[in-house]
Amino acid sequence: MAPLTMKHLRYFEALACHGHFGRAAESCAISQPALSVQIKELEEILGAPLVERGARQIRLTSLGAALADRARAILRSVDELAELARVAHGPLSGRLRIGVIPTIAPYLLPDVIRALGARYRDLDIHPREAITQTLIRDLSEGRMDIAIVALPVSEITLHEEPLFDEEFALVRARADADKPVPSREGLLEMRLLLLEEGHCFRDQALSFCKPSRLGPQDLMEGSSLSTLVQMVGAGIGITLIPEMAVRNEMRAAEVSVARLPAPRPKRTIGLVWRKSSPMASQYAQIAHHLRQDLPVPDRAWAARSLEDDLT
């Protein structure tokens, strides 16, 4: 009988995470038949089925669920041993798995990669875009090293390190550019466009607007900030976007942008990682360097007309 190996555990953990042989195989960079062989071999080693195979997805058996938890803990410990070895070798190098939420990734990730590449020549950066809940899960289970998110995440196992604050901008039809900027109460009289549920920026926008008097017909959803801005350009409603997105998103839409009256909504962007990670001091150093190297939020869009700012 073949011995149980780390490969078995990694492939099974991927299957437990994705709930699908194809997606699990893709995440492990192997073929689906090869993954199936490894899972079948693991079941033979343990002498019991680990998954119930369906047409579209799999379900873990009771043994499979228990093994998934143990496998994650073992793999996390093994990864932390590797991190200890990296610490002993001096300057940060090797693979860095960094997660970024969708309302940050298109606008800040290129600057992050350039900044880290200049500071750490031997760093192999593996970025991934996902919503906050997914990144927190992947961090906690050892599939991610650090993540750039909106703080706070309020996860007891994670350390939060603020990087900078940014305000929200009001996006409305270009024909409304010369109209007075509405107050928070005034926003309640308009049709508000929001990101789909699961995006933390949606919750932050709702928290500012406090739309207790809005019915379902007054709220419309989009899958991305770009979609929301295009919907505004089509005359469907108004939206809020983070100021880091202003320059990119305004170029291709017939809209205007304005700074909201005080107290202005804002969010804190920060870096998070596992408190238990042996690399915690190195990640703190990364946060320190990012605070120094990332561009300071530019509020010139709030002081000049949109056309002047984008030329």
Q: What is the tens place of the pLDDT at every residue in 95-135?
A: 899 999 999 999 999 999 999 999 998 889 999 999 999 99
- φ, ψ at 141 (rounded to 5°): -95, 5
Buried b or exposed e, range 40-54, using 16+ CB within 10 angstroms? ebbbeeeeeebbeee
Q: What is the mean pLDDT of residues 13-25?
A: 88
Q: Is the pLDDT of residue 54 over 80?
A: no
Given this model, what pLDDT does residue 88 score?
58
Q: What is the mean pLDDT of residues 146-171?
A: 94
Given this model, what pLDDT does residue 208 score?
79
Residue bearing the bigger pLDDT, 23 or 185 = 23
The reply to whether domains 6-84 and 94-311 share a CATH topology is no
Given this model, what pLDDT does residue 220 score?
74
Q: Is the pLDDT of residue 162 over 70?
A: yes
Contact 208, 265 (CB under 8 A): yes
Q: Flag whether the pTM goes above 0.95.
A: no
Question: By mean pLDDT, which of 55-59, 213-217, 237-241, 286-290 is the weakest?
Answer: 213-217
Q: What is the mean pLDDT of residues 225-236?
A: 92
Distances (CA, A) of 266 to 145, 201, 204, 259, 263: 26, 10, 8, 11, 9
Q: What is the mean pLDDT of residues 232-254?
A: 89
Given this model, what pLDDT does residue 304 score?
44
pLDDT above 70 as % of the chain: 89
Q: Which of 121, 135, 144, 75 is nearest to 283 (CA)?
A: 144
Q: Is the pLDDT of residue 56 over 80?
A: no
Q: What is the mean pLDDT of residues 257-282?
A: 90
The neighbour count for residue 4, using CB atoms within 10 Å, is 12
Given this model, what pLDDT does residue 286 score?
95
Q: What is the mean pLDDT of residues 169-182?
A: 90
Mean pLDDT of the chain: 85
Phi-psi region of 272 (alpha: psi -120 to 50; beta: other; left: phi over 0): beta
- The residue assigned the tokens 């109460």 is 185
Given this model, what pLDDT does residue 303 score?
53
Q: Is the pLDDT of residue 210 over 70?
A: no
Q: Where are the beta strands (DSSP E) in 112-233?
A: 123-129, 146-151, 158-173, 192-195, 219-222
Given this model, what pLDDT does residue 307 score?
41
Q: What is the tens place of the pLDDT at every residue in 215-228?
A: 444 567 888 999 99
Given this model, what pLDDT does residue 166 score?
92
Enter the CATH code of domain 6-84. 1.10.10.10
What residue type is 310 in one-letter code? L
Every domain of the chain and the residues it spans:
6-84, 94-311
Does the domain made of 94-311 have the CATH classification 3.40.190.290? yes
Given this model, what pLDDT does residue 73 score?
85
Given this model, what pLDDT does residue 183 score?
82
- The residue assigned the tokens 């007891």 is 156
Q: Is the pLDDT of residue 212 over 70?
A: no
